[in-house]
Chain A
Amino acid sequence: MFSTIFNYELKYWLRKPAFYIYMAIFFFLALFFSASSAGIFDSVTVTTGSSSIVNSPFGINGLFNAMTIFLLFLFPSIIGVSIHRDYKSEMHTILYSYPFTKANYLFAKFLSSILIVTIIIVVVGIALFIGFRMPGTNSEIVTAFDFKSYYSAYFIYILPNILLFGAIVFAVVTFTRNIAAGFITVILLLFVQGLMESLLSDPENRFLAAMVDPFGASATNYYTRYWTVSEQNELHLPIKEVILYNRLLWLGIAALVFGLVYKFFAFSQNAISISFNKNKGERATKSNFGGITRINLPKVGFDYSFVQNLKTTWKLSNIDFKYIIKSWPFLSIVLVGLIIILIALSEVGNLFGTPTLPVTWKMLNGGSSFTIAINICTFLYAGMLVHRGKIANMNHLVDVTPTPNWTLFMSKFIALIKMQLILLAVIMVSGILFQMYNGYYDFEIGHYIQELYGLRLINYAIWAFLALFVQTLFRNPYLGLFVLLVLSVGIPLLRFAGLEQSIFKYNEGPGFQYSDMNGYGNSFTRYFAYKIYWLFAGLMLLVFTALFWVRGLPHSFKERLSIAKSRFKGITIVGFAMFLICFLSLGFKIYHVNNIENKRTSSKEREIKNVEWEKTYKKYENNAQPRIVAVKAHMNIFPKERNFDAKGNYLMVNKTEVVIDSILLNHNNYPSTFKFNKEVDLVLEDTIYNFDIYKLKTPLKPGDSLELDITVNNKENTWLRNNSPVIENGTFINNFAIFPSLGYSGAGELSDNKTRKKYGLPPNDLKPHPSDSTALGNHYINKDSDWVDFEATVSTSEDQIAIAPGYLQKEWNENGRRYFHYKMDSKILNFYAFNSAKYEVVKDKWNDVNLEIYYHKGHEYNLDRMMAGMKASLDYNSKNFSPYQHKQARIIEFPRTRGSFAQSFPNTIPFSEAVGFIADVDDTDKGGVDYPFAITVHEVAHQWWAHQVIGADVLGATMLSESLSEYVSLKVLEHQQGKGKMRKFLKKALDDYLTRRTFEQKREKPLMYNDGQGYIRYQKGSLVFYALSDYIGEDVLNGALKKYVEKVQFQYPPYTTSIDMVNHIREVTPDSLQYTIKDMFETITVYENRIKDVTSTELENGKYQLDIEFEVSKYRNDEKGKKVYNDSITYKTEDMRKPIISVPLADYIDVGVFAEDESEDGEKTEVELYLKKHKITEINNKVTIIVDKLPVEVGVDPYNKLIDTNSNDNRRRL
């Protein structure tokens, strides 16, 4: 019997067109993803340049699994349908009386549908294979076909996942006899999976996270998380412990689920129903004798008017709306969504364990995780409503009523909108609940309503139009749903195929962003211009819905077309034409503004432009240019009008030993004028690259000077286009954005060598090596100046304060505007910014230095911490390195719409409202890092480490600024808050470093030769300097740095390099620790330290003896992340399959023993019983340590000072 049912099922599917449609959709999806990742669209969009191989085992596993997750959405309509079909056709009433066993029936149904799913997956595999090799893909990033990658992805991940999710869907549909239930289950499972992942995102929980992930991705990640690019490209995915446990666990659960189906499934007529009030059975009889009644229907008024139909529309929408909100799929989505939002909210903006205050915009941002739920509900319920009559078999009763079609489908549309209103309210409710839970009672209900209903609703409504149309077009609501999902995910991805303009992609367009300082700024007009544009598209779809609306019997598509044609008349044509005209004219307007009035540059064109720029102008790179020695700026900011106009004056001197005959002026595309104080000829004016060459009538002799007067202003802003960086409250503009620079700039050069080769450019090294003594003429901030005199006048509206670096000389009002004149008393880098907003000011003093914080009213929360940070940083840096060069330090808040960072200009630090002003710091031991304090310390430290010591524009320059500022920040934090809190910081830094290096697209260099990547200069830099201070002592290290600062501060060319700094450190490092310089600065060295075994014995004298066995090994990575050893030692015991290899060791490694103290309220704190550096020369080590108290934990490098890919096995509990 099994084979009969099985074969019948297979034949059923093979005959069904839907099967081939699904197959085709997946074939093309997989083809699109694989081909585009392999660069098939390189001819129309940017070149896919990367050091990653796209079809490495790692890449294939990722892509293949992602496709399967998409396939999950089809499970209800394949696996669910296999059994649901019998209910729907009421075949089960006959079938279930036939002589086959439950096992035959269930297994045949289940396995046949699994086979169907498998066929689709095989098609996906084939499509991936073809996609990577399609003509036009970039063969540089595709490696040879490797069958093992496909089948191990299939057998280890995909097959178990199909069985698991298949079994779950099968179970749900079998028992509820409802496909929608199966579908919602899939969505909920995906939600819950996402939830678990974010709940268990802490590194401590990685094992648990690996086990509970039903897809197994976290289990793989458990091993591959820190794989370097070379490992990702070359290695096969491991198949070992955690992955196997995970797979077995979930296969077991799949078996269990299927077992439950088998146990509880009965060949019965009725679905299992759960009833909470079990009524006692009653004998039921009906009256079998009815008299004849006279029929006398009451006289009632019938009204078929338009107005009445409108009322009917509303009434019907209420009925449909009630149907939605009472259905359990909806309720479960709302419930799970609520939980997810609440959890997402607790994660939002969490930095080093410190959350931010739950301000409303944070709540609204966190609620974005609900977006997908709203879309899925819209897509699903559009189908459920359109087909509601058919599903209930009531459509014929409805269709013969004198209600016009538009009333029917408009009522469905309105019901969908009402549903969206409710779902948006969920975001508001959860936001407010979260705020209340956190004791934050500043509820901005108006803000919630404005954003949710004023801004976001229209976006969802536009989707609802599409959903209604697609669901009307397709007879199967699940196919419709799937198509909608593919559309909603796929439309934004068209960008990768070179379709970049939003006006060609349904419901795409610019977004909006809120900041406390500037509200929504000027994002409204553009946002609504696009939304209204798409609204017209939606209305046209509504007309199509009207044309294709099914009334009566199902028709063939041909018949529907002819019906549509016959319906397209009169008011329908007029309406459609109107929408079309509005759509096209608005679209044309937007297109015109973005393409004709202003030149639009596609990513491809931009790439080519960069190539052309380099090819045309790189020859001028080494042309001698004068250096700017003084800058006078005059900046007028008009916040209300969002305009600026500025004047600048550069004083330049020929510091070279050659005669300079022409000036290369590299400017921006703002309307500008340039005027030299000497006679010049404009010999080249390039309006594409905004690069001009002026030939001096009388060449500039060495030592001669030249002045340049600049005027610059922005073009008028229009409703579709912002032409100015000025915003209404919180303008923040730096000099690079408005003023010109001298000479060729290499900033835009393509960095990927394969792409460069394609365009005939030589490979580049980005920056010269620090040992190249000819490359030290410029520091890394500017190429046209060393240290400059600076003076600025800034004006703004009367209610704002405008700020530039320097000391306030004078403040006055003139013509209803407020003017500020700032001047520097010492030379600074040619690097400054203008800020303007309605500020409150708080002032303080450190010694004779004036401290000021300019902040947005209402953001008072952390001013004390920032003030303390300024003082602590000034204190530490001036004590340890050199005196502070200024007499003031200012922090200036700017809106988060401008970014979430702080940046140090001379004595002036613009600081984003998002990164400290609203932090919610917990000062207890359990709390996270006080980052308003830490960031302030870092930024103030830049006044030394950038504004006193500035590195030459060569590799490793950022180590001198960013790594050192981060080091200072860590040290100040350590002195203030103790070592305990440092672990959090260090662990996070280590995790971030190890994670981000896996995304390296070009190369990773050792710290002192780094290319400027954030993960090296911040994370690795902080780890290295912190560890170094531990090894050689903070005083010794700072002593060396002090000597170094004294040597190089305010230096003119040749500028200092990392080599110089490292040499200073090397000098004070004892011989036994010289290896740390090599490991930390000169190479990428990674440890693999772990406790192997430990036993503790209580001695007679009450002390404890610990016998610890641990392993220490380290390897080096080349710039692609390949392990290299050169010389090596190995260790292997008989039960080890592979030996442990290490670079020869003569290292000093911490070994620690810890006890626990329990305070009165049950809080446990760690107590260090023993911590000492042991000299390690072997991989395998055994030590015996005697301690006084009961030990609970031992560790090798227990504080994770060293870079170690698995920091969790460094400790072992007893």
Chain B
Amino acid sequence: MKLTIKDLTKTYKNGVKAIDNLNLEIGTGMFGLLGPNGAGKSSLMRTIATLQSPDSGSIEFGDINVLDDKMALRKVLGYLPQSFGVYPKMSAEKLLDYFATLKGVKLKSDRAALVKEVLEITNLYDVRKKHVAGYSGGMKQRFGIAQLLLNNPKLIIVDEPTAGLDPAERHRFLNVLREVGTNCTVIFSTHIVDDVKELCNEMAILNGGRILQHTTPTEATSEIEGQIWTKIIERDDLETNEASYNVLSSNYNQDNTLNIRVHALEKPADDFISASPQLDDVYFIALKQDEPTLA
């Protein structure tokens, strides 16, 4: 099923245009939504998840008109917000049963089987009797996945789920998500480029409420093959280099020198050497192009 977003616009009371005439089409599979903090990712995802209404535009999922028939979407929606809490003093098992009820699972036995399964998938079965409010960050995110699975969703929206997870938790989380995402549409927002690289078959870069680029990770990197150059410079020379070249990133080396990456169609100078493009470069190029120019 396909998610089609057309001419979506949302302006907040304080004048911020969180979504700016956005058009997007997302098919089955993992879709990574990459963007810096404040790009409008959460606004977009909340809007798709029926939690807020846009000022204008339309969203369709398959034949569901999301804005008009929120209930229809909610039946097939799995949503994991950026941050969430749970009722205190309730165990994972109880809470999941609660959510299963809310999601319309009729029979008690069905709910029990379903809860057991999602607990096992998310590796929470052993701690099912513990209060969720006392879980660690990783466990809580997994609980978030568990609740999301309960209605066997067709559209899954996860908002920056890997922020703050340790490497092991992050891997496990991404694996589960991947498993889930084989047969449905998963929209996955992040500001961590690696997440997208490892997981997504499609991606978009979002900034200032607009899609800057809609592509796939491989395509994106292959497009800039041969356009990324690198050089080691002294700290004091950074400003000169930034003035002359399109510097994408600069990282310190251990000896306090800087490693800069530059985007250019041809070798900018002799002391540059060619580097193989990373998804990071794609991201930075897109953001660079979107920077407000001093007119």
Known A295-B180, A326-B89, A402-B71: A308·B77 in contact at CB below 8 Å: no
Bound CA span A518–B172, Å: 74
Kindly state whether residue A812 has any CB partner on chain B within 8 Å.
Answer: no
Kindly state whether residue B99 has any CB partner on chain A within 8 Å.
Answer: yes
Residue interface bits B69-87, CB-to-A below 8 A is 1, else 0: 0010011010101011111
* Residues of chain B within 8 A of A301, CB atoms compared: 105-107, 110
Closest-by-CB residue of A relative to B118 is A297
Are the C-beta atoms of B75 and A396 separated by less than 8 Å?
no
* Residues of chain A within 8 A of B75, CB atoms compared: 302, 304, 402
Are the C-beta atoms of A290 and B172 separated by less than 8 Å?
yes
Residue interface bits B43-84, CB-to-A below 8 A is 1, else 0: 000100111100000000000000000010011010101011
- Give the segment of B24-32, B144-152, B212-220, B227-235 that binds chain A: B144-152
Closest-by-CB residue of A relative to B113 is A298
Q: A396: shortest Cβ distance to chain B, in Å?
A: 5
Closest-by-CB residue of B relative to A556 is B13
Kindly state whether residue A319 has any CB partner on chain B within 8 Å.
Answer: yes
Closest-by-CB residue of B relative to A407 is B102
Number of B residues whose C-beta is below 8 Å from A?
52
Known A297-B152, A308-B106: A286·B136 in contact at CB below 8 Å: yes
* Residues of chain A within 8 A of B176, CB atoms compared: 293, 295
- Return the contact of B99 from the options A304, A396, A397, A553 (Cβ within 8 A): A397
* Residues of chain B within 8 A of A748, CB atoms compared: none
Are the C-beta atoms of A293 and B110 separated by less than 8 Å?
no
Kindly state whether residue B251 has any CB partner on chain A within 8 Å.
Answer: no
Closest-by-CB residue of B relative to A319 is B98
* Residues of chain A within 8 A of B138, CB atoms compared: 286
Known A298-B114, A553-B46: A290·B123 in contact at CB below 8 Å: yes
Kindly state whether residue A312 has any CB partner on chain B within 8 Å.
Answer: yes
Kindly state whether residue B103 has any CB partner on chain A within 8 Å.
Answer: yes
Are the C-beta atoms of B104 and A402 separated by less than 8 Å?
yes
- Return the contact of A398 from the options B71, B102, B139, B172 (Cβ within 8 A): B102
Residue from B104, B111, B117, B118 with most neighbouring chain A CB atoms (10 Å): B104
Residue interface bits B199-220, CB-to-A below 8 A is 1, else 0: 0000000000000000000000
Bound CA span A307–B71, Å: 16
Q: B104: shortest Cβ distance to chain A, in Å?
A: 4
Kindly state whether residue A294 has any CB partner on chain B within 8 Å.
Answer: yes
Bound CA span A294–B121, Å: 8
Kindly state whether residue B276 has any CB partner on chain A within 8 Å.
Answer: no
Residue interface bits A548-563, CB-to-B below 8 A is 1, else 0: 0001110110000000
Known A293-B120, A295-B179: A400·B50 in contact at CB below 8 Å: yes
Bound CA span A990–B104, Å: 71
Are the C-beta atoms of B168 and A392 separated by less than 8 Å?
no
Kindly state whether residue B164 has any CB partner on chain A within 8 Å.
Answer: no
Bound CA span A1028–B151, Å: 91
Are the C-beta atoms of B74 and A397 separated by less than 8 Å?
no
* Residues of chain A within 8 A of B120, CB atoms compared: 293
* Residues of chain B within 8 A of A297, CB atoms compared: 114, 117-118, 149, 152
Are the C-beta atoms of B51 and A292 separated by less than 8 Å?
no
Residue interface bits B8-21, CB-to-A below 8 A is 1, else 0: 00000100000000
Residue interface bits A383-403, CB-to-B below 8 A is 1, else 0: 000001000111011111111
- Return the contact of B114 from the options A300, A308, A552, A553 (Cβ within 8 A): A300
* Residues of chain B within 8 A of A288, CB atoms compared: 166, 168
Kindly state whether residue A223 has any CB partner on chain B within 8 Å.
Answer: no
* Residues of chain A within 8 A of B81, CB atoms compared: 396-397
Kindly state whether residue B101 has any CB partner on chain A within 8 Å.
Answer: yes
Residue interface bits A680-723, CB-to-B below 8 A is 1, else 0: 00000000000000000000000000000000000000000000
Kindly state whether residue B88 has any CB partner on chain A within 8 Å.
Answer: yes
Closest-by-CB residue of A relative to B95 is A394
Are the C-beta atoms of B52 and A552 separated by less than 8 Å?
yes
Are the C-beta atoms of A394 and B103 separated by less than 8 Å?
no
Known A396-B51, A397-B84, A556-B13: A402·B74 in contact at CB below 8 Å: yes
Bound CA span A399–B175, Å: 27
Name the interface residues of B168-216: CB closer than 8 Å to any CB of A. 168, 172, 175-176, 179-180
Kindly state whether residue A622 has any CB partner on chain B within 8 Å.
Answer: no
Closest-by-CB residue of B relative to A553 is B52
Are the C-beta atoms of A304 and B172 separated by less than 8 Å?
no
Known A303-B106, A393-B84, A397-B147: A289·B74 in contact at CB below 8 Å: no
Known A290-B123, A295-B180, A402-B104: A397·B79 in contact at CB below 8 Å: yes
Bound CA span A308–B75, Å: 14
Q: B225: shortest Cβ distance to chain A, in Å?
A: 32
Residue from A301, A388, A401, A553 with most neighbouring chain B CB atoms (10 Å): A401
Query: What band does the interface of chain A fall in when counting residues whose beta carbon is under 8 Å from B?
Result: 35 or more
* Residues of chain B within 8 A of A392, CB atoms compared: 85-88
* Residues of chain B within 8 A of A403, CB atoms compared: 102-104
- Return the contact of B104 from the options A287, A308, A316, A399 (Cβ within 8 A): A308
Name the interface residues of B151-166: CB closer than 8 Å to any CB of A. 151-152, 166
* Residues of chain A within 8 A of B101, CB atoms compared: 312, 315-316
Q: A600: shortest Cβ distance to chain B, in Å?
A: 50
Name the interface residues of A525-582: CB closer than 8 Å to any CB of B. 551-553, 555-556
Are the C-beta atoms of B121 and A293 separated by less than 8 Å?
yes
Are the C-beta atoms of A402 and B103 separated by less than 8 Å?
yes
Are the C-beta atoms of A294 and B179 separated by less than 8 Å?
yes
Closest-by-CB residue of B relative to A323 is B87
Closest-by-CB residue of A relative to B147 is A397
Kindly state whether residue A980 has any CB partner on chain B within 8 Å.
Answer: no
Are the C-beta atoms of B13 and A396 separated by less than 8 Å?
no
Bound CA span A796–B180, Å: 84
Kindly state whether residue A404 has any CB partner on chain B within 8 Å.
Answer: yes
Known A290-B172, A301-B105, A312-B101: A295·B151 in contact at CB below 8 Å: no
Are the C-beta atoms of A404 and B123 separated by less than 8 Å?
no
- Return the contact of B103 from the options A302, A388, A393 (Cβ within 8 A): A302
Closest-by-CB residue of B relative to A563 is B53
Residue from B87, B99, B144, B151 with most neighbouring chain A CB atoms (10 Å): B87
Bound CA span A392–B83, Å: 11
* Residues of chain A within 8 A of B102, CB atoms compared: 312, 316, 398, 401-403
Bound CA span A552–B53, Å: 9
Bound CA span A994–B18, Å: 73
Known A396-B79, A400-B49, A400-B51: A302·B172 in contact at CB below 8 Å: no
Closest-by-CB residue of B relative to A562 is B53
Q: A143: shortest Cβ distance to chain B, in Å?
A: 52
Name the interface residues of B105-137: CB closer than 8 Å to any CB of A. 105-107, 110-111, 113-114, 117-118, 120-121, 123, 136
Bound CA span A402–B100, Å: 10
Are the C-beta atoms of A396 and B84 separated by less than 8 Å?
yes
Are the C-beta atoms of B107 and A394 separated by less than 8 Å?
no
Residue interface bits A307-331, CB-to-B below 8 A is 1, else 0: 0100010011001000100100000
Q: A983: shortest Cβ distance to chain B, in Å?
A: 57
Are the C-beta atoms of B51 and A399 separated by less than 8 Å?
yes
Q: A288: shortest Cβ distance to chain B, in Å?
A: 4
Bound CA span A287–B166, Å: 12
Q: A1050: shortest Cβ distance to chain B, in Å?
A: 81
- Return the contact of B71 from the options A295, A300, A396, A404 (Cβ within 8 A): A404
* Residues of chain B within 8 A of A315, CB atoms compared: 101
When A and B form their complex, which 8 residue pairs have the shortest distance between CB atoms, in order from nearest? A393-B85, A552-B51, A300-B110, A401-B102, A288-B168, A402-B74, A303-B106, A402-B75
Report 17 cross-chain contacts, Cβ distance below 8 Å, ordered by A residue.
A293-B179, A295-B121, A296-B117, A297-B117, A297-B118, A300-B106, A300-B113, A302-B104, A303-B106, A323-B87, A392-B85, A392-B86, A393-B85, A400-B50, A400-B74, A402-B103, A402-B104
Residues on B lying within 8 angstroms of A by beta carbon are 13, 46, 49-52, 71, 74-75, 77, 79, 81, 83-89, 98-99, 101-107, 110-111, 113-114, 117-118, 120-121, 123, 136, 138-139, 144, 147, 149, 151-152, 166, 168, 172, 175-176, 179-180
Given A288-B166, A399-B50, 7 further pairs, Cβ under 8 A: A286-B138, A323-B87, A392-B85, A393-B83, A396-B84, A402-B151, A552-B51
